[in-house]
Amino acid sequence: MAGLTFDFTGARVLVTGAAGLLGGACARAFRDAAAQVVATDLKPAEIPGTTFVVGDLTEDTFLDRLHADAGPLDILVNCAAVTHQLMDFCDTTGAMLDEQYAANLRPVHGLSARAARDWRRLARPGVIVNFSSPGAVRAHPDQSLYDATKGAIEALSRAMAVELGPYGIRVNCVAPASIGEAGDIRRDTPLRDAVTPDDVCDAVLFLASPAARRITGTVLAVDSGLSAQLRTP
């Protein structure tokens, strides 16, 4: 971790998309912070110190099994997502839109609802951190369907935050810009620095921690200021 220290001793955390760059980094970050981590993705990944479950998040039967295997959670991190082929909007189809929503939005709803029901039934607080994108509010060229799913995730997160807040359940989003390596120069952003996986993990762990106990329904942009500017240089 880059400059921040968190202690999640005893917390049970589920991280989706853990075979990917950011999901894997989040799983390792929570593990290093002494959490009990269950990680999942469509393909396996080696993340020592975690329990890795392989399966398809678009299938309700797998969501049920994952929910049972993960046990009572404290924190849910919905990182899994797929992008569609770069394509002009006029060439997209309804079937493509359905596929994007099935892969990117439906698992967020399915796992969040299962976790929230447990927390409400057990009268326990809980935390959900969802992954969005700058594309939710500033469109990428030729990524209309992906951006639409991220906008929907932000809307769903706000709605969940409002409904679940009275039960002590917090829901927030992180919206990372494209990922680079430490020291990379990004002349299209105010900070001129690339966003690294550690930068994103710091934001996720902060939102999941007691330090963010009064923060819910927000979107934390981790983008070196990309979304703050009217025009890129």
Which residues are the active-site residues? 146, 150
123: Cβ contacts below 8 Å, ≥ 6 apart: 167
Residue type, 148: A
How far, in Å, are 73, 140, 152, 180, 193 from residue 184 at the CA level?
A: 37, 21, 31, 7, 6
Query: Parallel, antiparallel, or unpaired: how do β-strands 36-41 and 51-54 relate?
Result: parallel
Placement of tokens 């039934």 in the chain: 121
HSE-CB at 134 with a 13 A cutoff on CA atoms is 18
15 bridge partner residues: 39, 77
Residue type, 68: A
CA atoms of 53 and 5, how far apart (whole Å): 27
Contact 107, 61 (CB under 8 A): no
Q: Considering just the CA atoms, what is the radius of gyration of the chain in Å?
A: 17
